[in-house]
Amino acid sequence: MAAFWIVIGIVALLSAAIPVGAVLGILAFGIDDLFLSGRLTRAIGNIYWEKSIDFLLLSAPMFIMLGEIMLRAGIAKKMYNAVAQWLTWLPGGLMHANIGTSALFAATSGSSVATTATIGVAAYPEIERHKYNESLFMGSIAAGGTLGILIPPSVGLILFGILTETSIPELYLAGFVPGILLAVIFMLVILITCLIKRDWGGNKVETSWKGRMACLPDLAAPILLFVAVVGSIYAGIATPTEAAAIGVCMAMILAAFNKTLSWKMICDAALGTMKTTAMIMFIVLAAMFLNFMLAFLGVTKAVLDYIAELGLTPIETMLIIVVFYLILGMFMETLSMMLTTVPLVFPIVVQLGATEFTGVWFGIVLTLLMEAGLITPPIGMNLYVAHGIRKPGGRFADVAIGAIPFLIPMLIMVFLLIAFPQIATWLPDLFYR
């Protein structure tokens, strides 16, 4: 019951528009004062020091800076035009480019919001130019952006790995196949929808093999960056944190080649990085203190004992967890949802006793559920980012409705992973077992 009332408390405080980090801090200090007379608050300095000196935490701001530089370097527009040359022959035209470019940008950014914003700015003018259905087009931008936290490198997977002490290189490997499959299924949704509603697919964009070959160099930037970051990890050259630093250096070099590197661009990227990092770290540290409090009071053990007494099968337990996250995703921002629930839910998954339900596997399932939350109203962050790109006067509901068809593939992928965990685990097993 304590865990239930804690979740209710979090939702209630968030409904009052109190910042997430403050909500978690209020709960932690409130619980300490109520049950422990404020004794654990005296240890907060030691707790934060021990948690904040983790070398892996440094990779989060590095990957955020990488995305900020890519966002401001003007590389995304060239990338979008190049992908469009190769995919617009499909029914749905440039909506396929939205998904394809999002997948490529996700492999360099690690942030869903940055992916949505970057691709949205590049793609939005094409709606009027080629007469696309605006609702579905904007839905494809919001849905494509969700790939930013699944396809490595991903800030979300880094934080999950730190919270659960799960191998980040294994999490990155596990995200490849589901991420690519999800991008393909998104494109199938667009294809089928535009075959049924042909006028939604816009006017045909003329391309040629000469144009496709000429734009191939524009695809080199994200591929080089991806190889530098992810390749250095699996070649044993760098840790995830060092790979993130390599990625930042590479992004600056690419910006210089693109003639967009300047002190103003670097300062803007650094400022954006500091703002995002401060927000994330405030939430992370507040969540860590709350989690320490819950563990000290035995709340985590009580939840585990209660689940064990129910006598549910592993599949039944996972279905309950899926429903729980789908409902929670409607009311909580994804990062906050992960940081506040993982310390309670992860031990439940570990305790299930199913050998195929590993920590790495659950990290991918949780990321998919977080992706669903990004395009689920009323809190869906990507919906707001996509809506913010539009001209004034458009209805937010149009973007939300356009994203609904893309929720179905996400749920299909979640259930496929529950039925066939090997979709996520076979690549890490191949490398590390």
The domain in which residue 419 lies consists of 2-432
Distance from C-alpha of 133 to C-alpha of 80, rounded to nearest angstrom? 19
Q: What is the CA radius of gyration of the chain?
A: 22
Instruction: Output the pTM of the full model.
Output: 0.83
List, as one string, the DSSP characters of 283-321.
HHHHHHHHHHHHHHHTHHHHHHHHHHHHT--HHHHHHHH
pLDDT, position 2:
53
Task: Please answer whether residues 142 and 383 qualify as being in contact, where contact means their C-beta atoms are separated by less than 8 angstroms.
Answer: yes
pLDDT, position 185:
92
Alpha-carbon torsion 274, 279, 281, 285, what sign?
positive
Beta strands in 285-423 (DSSP E): none
Nearest Cα to 21, choosing from 289, 381, 286, 339? 286
- pLDDT tens for the chain, 433 residues long, are 555 566 666 666 655 656 666 777 777 777 777 777 777 777 777 777 776 777 777 887 888 888 788 878 877 778 888 888 888 788 888 888 889 888 888 777 767 777 888 788 888 888 888 888 888 888 898 888 888 888 887 778 888 888 888 888 899 899 989 999 999 999 999 999 988 888 887 777 777 778 788 888 878 878 888 888 888 888 778 888 888 889 889 889 988 888 888 899 899 889 888 887 887 777 777 777 777 777 777 776 676 677 777 778 888 888 888 888 888 777 777 777 787 788 888 888 888 777 778 889 999 999 999 888 888 877 777 888 888 888 776 788 888 888 889 998 899 999 999 989 999 999 888 887 6
> How many angstroms separate the Cα of 166 from the Cα of each of 53, 224, 292, 327?
17, 27, 18, 26
pLDDT, position 18:
66
DSSP state of 207: -
Q: Hunting for tokens 């992908």 — which residue is that?
A: 83
pLDDT, position 241:
84
The backbone region for 319, taken as left when phi is positive above 0, alpha when psi lies in -120 to 50, beta otherwise, is: alpha
Report the domain count for the chain: 1
Distance from C-alpha of 371 to C-alpha of 7, rounded to nearest angstrom? 20
Spell out a b/e string for 194-222, using b for 16 or more CB atoms within 10 Å of the CB, else e: beeeeebbbeebeeeeeeeeebeebbebb
Q: Hunting for tokens 């070398």 — which residue is that?
A: 55
Nearest Cα to 14, choosing from 2, 4, 3, 24? 24
